[in-house]
């Protein structure tokens, strides 16, 4: 189920808290840490860049696929169309001084989550992130 926040200006912490307190969230602190960092980056990007002055809306929510179990996080907005997955990954081998500004947060999300997808549908950006909650067989 998605909850709408409108307007989103100064509501990053409230939106992140809403997602992270979902009953779908795992108890495992390591997983929660990875999910929290990814959610924070995704939400901050929408709040900071999707709308001029943060005066738009954002819908956020979680869903648990019990057959997986896989946690799905959805973040939807009607701001400026932007596919974060098209942004080139930063050169993490370069020193901080040599690196281009921006893109590190999206890169971090790609590393921490098991899946990230983006689509633009009906005038909305829809970012979906997934995390497998069961330990992988290795």
Architecture, CATH, for domain 2-132: 2-Layer Sandwich (3.30)
| pLDDT tens profile 28-64 | 999 999 999 999 999 999 999 999 887 899 999 999 9
- State residue 73 phi and psi, 5-degree precision: -115, 130
Residue 113 has pLDDT above 90, yes or no: yes
Is the whole-model pTM more than 0.85? Answer: yes
* Domain locations along the chain: 2-132
Residue 7 has pLDDT above 90, yes or no: yes
Taking residues 58-78, what's their average pLDDT?
94
Neighbours of 114 (CB within 10 A): 14
Q: Which residue has the tokens 């500004």?
A: 101
In whole angstroms, give the CA distance from residue 96 to residue 59: 34
Complete edge-to-edge strand list for the sheet that includes strand 70-77: 2-5, 58-65, 70-77, 124-132, 115-121
- Identify which of 52, 50, 65, 67 has the alpha carbon closest to the alpha carbon of residue 15: 50
In whole angstroms, give the CA distance from residue 120 to residue 83: 8
């Amino acid at each position: 189920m998605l909850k709408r926040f409108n307007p989103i200006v100064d509501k990053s912490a409230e939106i992140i808290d809403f997602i992270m307190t979902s009953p779908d969230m795992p108890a495992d602190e390591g997983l929660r840490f990875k999910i929290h960092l990814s959610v924070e980056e995704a939400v901050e990007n929408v709040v900071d860049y999707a709308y001029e002055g943060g005066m738009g809306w954002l819908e956020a929510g979680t869903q648990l696929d019990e057959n997986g179990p896989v946690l799905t996080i959805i973040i939807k907005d009607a701001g400026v169309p932007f596919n974060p997955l098209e942004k080139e990954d930063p050169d993490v081998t370069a020193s901080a001084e040599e690196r281009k500004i921006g893109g590190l947060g999206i890169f971090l999300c790609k590393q921490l989550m098991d899946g990230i997808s983006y689509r633009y549908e009906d005038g909305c950006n829809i970012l979906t992130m997934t995390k497998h909650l069961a330990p992988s067989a290795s």
